[in-house]
Amino acid sequence: GGAMSFLKRFPPPAEGVRHQQPDTEAVLAGRTLGAGTLYIAESRLSWLENSGLGFSLDYPTISLHAVSRDLNAYPWEHLYVMVNAKFEEAETKEAPMAEGEEEEDSDDDIEPIAEFRFVPSDKSALEAMFSAMCECQALHPDPDDEDSENDYEGEEYDVEAHELQQGDIPSFYTYEEGLSHLTAEGQATLERLEGMLAQSVSSQYNMAGVRTEDSIREFEDGMEVDIAPVVAGQFEDAEVDH
């Protein structure tokens, strides 16, 4: 067949490749582009034919993707990708290839759609390919979405701090209450942590969860716990009942 004008030569992605599937045929609107390797990378979806020519798709342009094993709909199991964009299938001098395309061109109301199918020779890889695409797609939320507020960083912390100050709902147990609710596993965890605490005090390391004047420690989810500054060694004389 004729060369697809949108195919380019470029190096395969090197970073953030969540899944790579060799020996995968790419099909656009029913026409095969050949066999190559599909790269599902965090930045974009790329396919490179064995000759070195290929194309990339940006996740924001992908409307949906799916695993199709319905052989009545299409004779080979594949990863279906619907893209919200136009792809030229042939040089403009040649006659248009797909009948459906002409109708869509003339109707301004209907958005352009390009249907890609990636047919791996290894059918069992389809689940992994699908999941990798889901993960990468989730990394590219719609920037035009008016509903989702821009900045939620730190907001959950504020809500939590406010609610904790209410004090109505006991969401924390006092030491005695909590101890009586511990399972054997919880007990073992407590003993281990206390052991670590005792050890770290004696070697004067910063203790997890305890801030000295020199250290600032943020919990992973952004919640800062306001504890008065302590001096290492403060707990040396603490009594702990097991």
- Number of neighbours of residue 116 by Cβ within 10 angstroms: 22
The rounded distance, in Å, linking the Cα atoms of 60 and 140 is: 6
Q: 17 to each of 38, 48, 66, 88, 220, how far by Cα in Å? A: 10, 14, 19, 27, 25
Binding of another protein by 99 (CB under 8 A)? no
Residue number with CB closer to another protein (165 or 183): 183
Dihedral in degrees, nearest 10, Cα atoms 113, 119, 123, 125 = -70
- Write the binding mask 160 to 179 for another protein: x where contact by CB under 8 A, - elsewhere: x----------xxx----x-
* Residue 85 engages another protein in binding (rule: CB under 8 A): no
Choose the binding region for another protein from 24-32, 39-47, 72-80, 194-202 (rule: CB under 8 A).
72-80
Among 168, 185, 237, 241, binds another protein (CB under 8 A): 185
Smallest separation, CB 53 to another protein (Å): 28
* Rounded CA separation 47/53 (Å): 8
Q: CA 42 to CA 143: how far, in whole Å?
A: 17
Residue (of 229, 183, 173) closest to 206 by Cα position: 229
91 contacts another protein (rule: CB under 8 A): no
Q: Is 223 in the site for another protein (CB under 8 A)?
A: yes
| Of positions 113, 128, 197, 201, contacts another protein by CB under 8 A | 113
Q: Based on CB atoms, which residue is closest to another protein, 7 or 129?
A: 129
Per CB under 8 A, the segment of 34-42, 48-56, 61-69, 197-205 that binds another protein is: 61-69
CA dist 194 to 25, 94, 104, 204, 214, Å?
Answer: 58, 77, 69, 15, 23
Handedness of CA 106, 109, 112, 115 (dihedral sign): negative
Q: Which residues bind another protein (CB under 8 A)?
A: 60, 62-70, 72-74, 80, 84, 110-111, 113, 126-127, 130, 133-134, 137-138, 141-142, 144-145, 147-149, 152-153, 155-157, 159-160, 171-173, 178, 181-183, 185-186, 189, 219-223
